A = this chain, B = another copy of it.
């Protein structure tokens, strides 16, 4: 039986029933036919698509129709700065980079540095502006094409964005935000307005280019309500409805819920040292193993509830390796401690490279910032 769950842009909790969400949000499941169609252009299928980590979409067939008519799309995704980046944040961005490379398209990356300031009592604008930079280094470290990637920061690019945001805002009532986000009358008026700012990058490139360009938004499913509200509004402003690809959440180390950056023990940060990574996984990673080694060898573990295995499905690109791990764990040949060590090695290997690139990124930030032409 499924537990209750909540998925809004500001709260994700519980054991999420993704099929239920697809129905509730009115999106489409990604099926084999769509995967084949994507493969026609990308030659290969990213493991996050193969494994149904990206599992839902809006209007992908329309987007590919346009692409095949030489009407190229741009990508839009983002990060609301409020804390350090953990592995869960990287999931959609790793996939977004693959999309950028395979389709050779522009990426607009928004850092709405006012969002968490407006939604969290204890965060100042100085805090979110500090985290914008810290977070941007992680984005840059992933290797996005510098010439085709444009960072938008709401308070820095307000001259460009506010003017467009009010056009969006004029077409959204408070009633609509109540229905979509569950707002009450106690909500502050900045938080109420905010969704307008998140809508802007879905059509701003069209405003700048003075022609209508299709938009594809890869994102965590929790962000979908913003676009459920704004898709019709964007059409009324004369631009294409954005297409979307939605991914599942990397579960928390301690069990099946979205990894929350605010809980040290449930997340691994991109700046964690190898020792911290090792300790966290050994201490907190929820295990699908048996009570004793003897019992585990005899009856085998349960990879389907084991978080170390679940994490490897998000991080290990090699299907064959992953399959072997699955079977070995299930048969009891692989112990929980050994499975955890595989994950530790995988993450520390990744972070060693990432942290080097992240250091270099500190000098590259300015080059990624969008300069109004």
Contacts and interface: CB of A to CB of B under 8 A. Distances in A.
Interface in A195-246: 195-196
Nearest to A124: B167
Interface stretch (A173-181, A266-274, A280-288): A173-181
Nearest to A119: B170
A335 B99 CA distance: 82
A26 interface: no
A177 B165 CA distance: 20
If over half of A's interface residues share one DSSP class (helix, strand or loop), that class is named, otherwise mixed; here it is helix
A67 to B, nearest CB: 32
A166 interface: yes
A191 B193 CA distance: 9
A189 B174 contact: yes
Interface string A149-183: 00000111111011101111111111101100001
B155 A171 contact: no
Contact of A189 (B114, B117, B159, B192): B192
A124 to B, nearest CB: 9
Given A156-B159, A163-B158, A170 B193 contact: no
Contacts of A196: 189-190
Interface in A119-172: 125, 154-159, 161-163, 165-172
A209 to B, nearest CB: 19
A118 interface: yes
Contact of A173 (B155, B157, B171, B187): B187
Interface residues of A, number: 38
A185 interface: yes
B158 A173 contact: no
A190 B173 contact: no
A234 to B, nearest CB: 15
A186 interface: yes
Contacts of A154: 162
A189 B190 CA distance: 9
Best-surrounded residue of A125, A163, A166, A192 (most CB of chain B within 10 A): A166
Contact of A166 (B125, B167, B195): B125
A188 interface: yes
A168 to B, nearest CB: 8
Contacts of A193: 169, 189-190, 192-193
Contacts of A168: 190
Contacts of A157: 159
A188 B169 contact: yes
Contact of A174 (B163, B172, B192): B192
A200 B320 CA distance: 59
Q: Which 8 A-B pairs have the closest CB atoms?
A: A169-B190, A193-B193, A158-B162, A158-B158, A175-B185, A155-B163, A159-B159, A166-B190
7 contacts: A155-B163, A158-B159, A158-B161, A169-B193, A174-B174, A175-B186, A193-B193
